[in-house]
């Protein structure tokens, strides 16, 4: 069983409920695939960091957590759908 750290970024275009639902779905999929969710790391941002996806501080936190938990990060894709529909 592989341990994973779920990493999610909530952008302003995504509601708290939608974000929470996406995380819950990813947790269920992980368990269905016989994975173990070791931790969940989330961050609210105005936009995705092009270089690191999450902020540099959160990235450092993730690196430390991954070593401690002996787990691999699994990133939740941010919801771009509504943002792409803006004129």
- Closest by CA to 37, choosing from 72, 75, 74, 3, is 3
Helix, strand, coil tally for the chain in percent (to 5): 40, 30, 30
> Tens digit of pLDDT for each residue in 2-33?
999 999 999 999 999 999 999 999 999 999 99
DSSP 57: H
* pTM for this predicted structure: 0.81
> Tens digit of pLDDT for each residue in 35-59?
999 999 999 999 998 899 999 999 9
pLDDT at res. 74: 86
């Amino acid at each position: 069983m592989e341990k994973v750290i779920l990493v999610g970024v909530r952008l302003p275009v995504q509601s708290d409920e939608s974000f929470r639902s996406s995380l819950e779905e990813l947790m269920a999929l992980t368990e269905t695939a016989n994975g173990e969710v070791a931790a969940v790391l989330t961050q609210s941002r105005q936009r995705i960091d092009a270089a690191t996806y999450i902020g540099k501080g959160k990235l450092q936190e993730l690196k430390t957590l991954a070593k401690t938990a002996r787990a691999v990060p699994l990133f939740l894709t941010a919801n771009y759908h509504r943002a792409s529909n803006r004129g």
